[in-house]
Structure 1
């Protein structure tokens, strides 16, 4: 090969290597993957005692790899199952098959084959009515990964780590290794098994035995994990007190004692309970092995138990599926033949993160009604302030009348229409209000059944009446007569209008929802507006906790808020940042916050995210996000980190951890002002908004959100905000923008290495293209100059 060709080849190779190094140095890493999606059908209604009904089509899109698809019916009425008549190309996951009716299943398939199976899916019902959530989830299939469609959690079996964890700093432990694993954007934790459904799923669908789970009574570990609430002087003090050590249930005790002499723990009070039948419903779940470890059971009173027995005085960690059985065994820390690996659990709304995310995951749900009700209720705007309502008749029964009632989510008047057919028109609605419709069917035996809620429709502005005389309607408006006072309607226990007496078409129903409207659930992209109520109409658990974070008048609560960090030395600023949302721009600010669980203060901190969102964070993760909006633009927090509420703009709140489908209340202090009532979704999350009204005083305030936890305890979260008059004021006192600095030493060192490699390659290229001759010539010229210098006389 000629020399010049050789030099050109080497040069091209060096240039390619240099380009790769520069890409690494400047993080030029484009991605080309599309984000997978699952879309759900409109909410279906299923007739009672009917087979092979069509639920509508769930459709999976934008996936290319082999998928793990899961279908789950959450809380179905008795007798409700689904079938998959088309299974071509599907492989049932471990523990499942395609025979008979199902309430849940997982399978692997291509996107096309999965969609064919979903399109052919049918539903059969029994004689019991109720509602049901149909959940379909798709993700790129990964080995040893299992999805529970009922609780929405992933589980990953990792076949390694023979030791459990003597300390949280032991890098080789199952406890530590589980925390290093991530899936679809969420961090994992050693599995916590809190009910019989979860236990049955793991038993039937996780293909492994003798698996570490996240339970322990080891004093050293417990003191590091759950301190300072509970501490143990030695192992004798901790012996038999079993806690979950990570995840949403971190620090929750579920058992105390040894084998048959042990006691249950109360779900809400943590009091010890005798294992009797009357205590079953109040006890936290456990699944210790009995004398017959092959028997699968739910929480059962009085059974003979062989575990936990602390055999050899060294068994302080829990193994699931002991020797292939359906139960748990306590086991020792030392390496042994029994333990095969550990089980990692991934769940939403934990550890500061909200949902599974990424291109490789998607899910969708539809709420279905199982009853003999009107179906396919559809609302269509007719003109400015009328709604045409259509529906399909129930599958059975003799109908005597339909009553269609339109209620507003943002304060509009409730109105209705009646029909003996399957349509009617509701008129005289308020302008610029959002309405949805429920159709009540009355049968010839006087029984009534309500439909699912229709789609939402927003009315238009009411056109002013003409002034007459051929003039423009905008010149001289018709004088408004003085209205006749309307008496306040009597409150009833029913949230919907009764069918008797029968109203005439379009008559205004004096419905208690006029004064006490039903809140709606929101989403992250579409927060639901809070609805107005009087404080005296709020249930006791949602009443305000009178505390003003900017006042010393309530010294007890103010002190609790100010000293919340001091109550938990292990909950420092770095821990709060780790538990907050996954973004670079976040900081802890020295603002008071107060989290009360059953009126008992919990440690908390305020984290500012992207200079616009204030988040209240506890050792269990972020609980409440608040941000101010000017249209679609975020309003920055002030220089102390307080959310700036600007008059005639909106506030958006986001939270988690409350009871599913429950109401919550939002207040503003100093004097308690009920801003409104919202509703959580099926996961206990809420996404709500409310306007900043002109009658609210300027200055410092406390924003408080009160709700109910899944275990029945009350929750109250308070944080400081400030109300300002204009956007200009908010911008003047805005917190300075953060200058992000990469503080990852490993990545910084790697980039420095790539930089020096790039410089070296550039030097080699320079030398290859004649640089060496230039340098040699320069040295020769300097030497000749030195030799020609005449010596001084």
Structure 2
């Protein structure tokens, strides 16, 4: 038997097992919870009824996030970890409406901590639904799209550099890309609950001046807006331009001055809306603060179960008899 035959035999017999042993399988999480709740400013309710976390090749996790993904009332709604969890710390982010649970800790320790997370609210608006996304890892999850989102701070980054960096990011095998915000709920989520304004994946540079296109992600090549600030949205598509945008500032009679979309700073015009900027961004309130990466929907993405969604239906009814007044959740 010559050396080549020996080498090939080794590859056939042993290499597959080496490759399999190096595979890191993603964890799986399952949660349940759909309850009614009448908050009074001092009571609370668990956001998860049951939880199961499994992982075929790991016994610990680093981080789990629980976020009020839908219906969040900033400054009034809150999530709190109750009880004692020696290996897990919690951090509440009021802007994101998210409670981070940080380890490392065992899967069972994280399960116990998730069950101990409670929701309360002092909001005077005591109706509506709160959806809670429970995610293994740090990106945020939006139930309505099934996608994950992450703000990457990078002061002064160019749009093209942000685009190139985004595609180098992955999340449990999901391919990253500059976010494509194709609905009102997605635009509100990205603007309200992802900390920091930043670049998104729209431009009128690859087509023609004033033909605004999503150039990243699953929507790459999709035109959604034609014209300048007096233009029109493509039927069936979505836009959220700020007042008098996109205006190709300082002179929209000169093509090519502002060709890249950016979420507007909160102090400028309409909250969470978009404006067009040069590829390097602007100055002051128009300086690029970073970019938003979206994960999900790309060809070849793996099927994952790294998140789950529960709901609390916030509702109160006042019933009065001659002796007492009752607040009843229903």
CA offset at residue 345 of structure 1? 1.0
Question: 1:186-211: per-residue Cα shift (whole Å, max 9, x none)?
Answer: 222221223454444444554555x3
1:434-473 to 2 correspondences below 5 Å: none
Quote the Cα distance in structure 2 between the aligned partners of 1:123 and 1:208.
26
Structure in which a larger fraction of residues adopt strand: 2
Q: Which position in structure 1 is the counterpart of 2:100?
A: 107
TM-score by length of 2: 0.63
The aligned residue for residue 147 of structure 1 is: 140
Aligned mates of 2:177, 2:140 — CA distance in 1:
15
Give 2:201's match in structure 1, choosing from 205, 208, 214.
214
Change (3 A) 1:129 1:32: same
The 2-side partners of 1:206 and 1:75 are apart by 15
Q: Report the 3-state secondary structure (helix = DSSP H, G, I; strand = E; otherwise coil) of the residue aligned with 2:68.
A: strand
C-alpha distance after superposition, 1:314-372 (max 9, x if no partner): 2211233459855533233469885465432112x4435474x2xxx722234555669
The equivalent position to 1:46 in structure 2, one of 36, 61, 70, is: 36
- The question of whether the paired residues in 2 share the 8 Å contact of 1:253 and 1:265 is answered with no
Is the Cα contact below 8 Å between 1:40 and 1:366 reproduced in 2? yes
Give the superposition deviation at 1:87: 8.3
Question: Which residue does 1:178 correspond to in 2?
Answer: 166
1:762-783: CA deviation from partner (whole Å, max 9, x where unpaired): xxxxxxxxxxxxxxxxxxxxxx
CA distance in 1, matches of 2:72, 2:93: 22
Alpha-carbon distance change, 68 to 366 in structure 1, aligned in 2, over 3 angstroms: closer
Alignment of 1:335-484 (within 5 A): 338-339=287-288, 341-347=290-296, 349-351=297-299, 353=301, 355=303, 357=304, 362-366=306-310
Give 1:313's aligned residue: 255
Which of 217, 224, 238 is matched with 1:247 structurally? 217
Q: 1:188 pairs with 169, 176, 183, which one?
A: 176
TM-score, scaled to structure 1: 0.30
Unaligned runs of 5+ in 2: 1-6, 322-329
Q: Hey, what's the Cα distance between the residues in 2 that align with 1:287 and 1:119?
A: 41
Matches within 5 A, 1:164-313: 164=159, 174-209=162-197, 211-218=198-205, 221-222=206-207, 238-259=208-229, 262-265=230-233, 267-268=235-236, 284-288=238-242, 290=243, 305=244, 307-311=246-250, 313=255
Residues 47 and 132 of structure 2 are in contact (CA less than 8 Å); yes or no, is this contact kept in structure 1? no
Once the two structures are TM-superposed, the CA of residue 105 in structure 1 deviates from its matched residue by 1.8
Report which of the two structures shows the higher radius of gyration computed on alpha carbons. 1
- Structure showing the higher helix proportion among its residues: 1
Q: Deviations over 1:610-650 (max 9, x none)?
A: xxxxxxxxxxxxxxxxxxxxxxxxxxxxxxxxxxxxxxxxx
Conserved in 2, the CA contact under 8 Å of 1:38 and 1:61?
A: yes
Inter-partner Cα distance in structure 1 for 2:79 and 2:290: 35
Q: For 1:266-293, what per-residue CA distance to the aligned partner results, in whole angstroms no more than 9, with x for missing partners?
A: 552x6xxxxxxxxxxxxx23133x4xxx
Indicate the residue corresponding to 1:36 in structure 2: 27
CA distance in 2, matches of 1:364, 1:148: 9
Distance 1:369 1:70, change over 3 A: closer
Residue equivalent to 1:426: none
- Between the aligned partners of 2:266 and 2:310, the Cα distance in structure 1 is 39
Maintained 8 Å contact 1:129/1:371? yes
Q: Superposition pairs for residues 712-731 of structure 1, below 5 Å? A: none
Q: Distance in 1 between matches of 2:183 and 2:148?
A: 16
User: Comparing both chains, which one has the higher relative contact order based on Cα–Cα distances under 8 Å and sequence gaps of 6 or more?
Assistant: 2
Q: Quote how far apart the aligned CAs of 1:245 are.
A: 1.9
